[in-house]
Amino acid sequence: MEEVYIGVKNWWSYLITGIIAVVFGIVLLAWPASTIKVLAYVVGILALVTGAVETIWALALLFKKEKRGLLLVRGLVGVLVGLLLLTKTGFALTLVVVVIAIWAIVSGVVEFIASLEMPPKSGRGWLAVSGVLTIVLGILLVALPLETVYAIIVILSVFLFADAIVRFILAFYARKFEKELQA
């Protein structure tokens, strides 16, 4: 009961997070280019870190005489894409999306090929599905770069507005319940 009361007593936190969600939704819709630039930074950091880890892992496996050339290629491409996105933010939006798409396609192909080398009952089917989905994402990004990015921004904005409405309703009910508990 104590946990319930704490959640109800802090009804205002739901209200504040709802307001924050509305603000972020408005920012996404009002400044899509800036939002996309931030997205490029986030994806750049992700690609750089993932690529560096995969490259180190592949090199360690190569020293143990294990075949991991595809992992090394994927890691190096990730590092390259990460550095490109982080240092050349002035690129046109389309080029940034295409670079992300190429990374997705390369990653998907490597995952799919890696799934073929895995033993049965090891989850290789799921890795193959993940690889195919990543390839499809890359193809969609190449085919519709601007539309894809703006669609993601609109979808995220709609989610934030819907989440804000839910949080406002939750704040209202929590506040009402708190008053009933106090009475």
Q: Domain-by-domain residue ranges, the chain?
A: 9-176
Angle at 112 between CA 53 and CA 41, to 5 degrees: 45
Place of tokens 């309703």: 169
DSSP assignment, residue 13? H
pLDDT (tens digit, 0 to 9) for every residue of the chain, 183 residues total? Answer: 454 455 456 777 778 988 998 988 888 888 877 777 787 788 889 889 999 998 998 888 877 777 778 888 989 999 998 888 888 765 556 777 788 889 889 989 988 998 888 777 777 788 889 889 989 988 988 888 777 777 777 877 888 899 899 888 888 887 888 788 777
Residue type, 60: A
Q: Which pTM does this prediction carry?
A: 0.51
CA dihedral 17, 22, 28, 31 (to 10 degrees): -120
| Tokens linked to 63 | 């020293």
Q: Cα dist. 178→13, 14, 183 in Å? A: 14, 14, 9
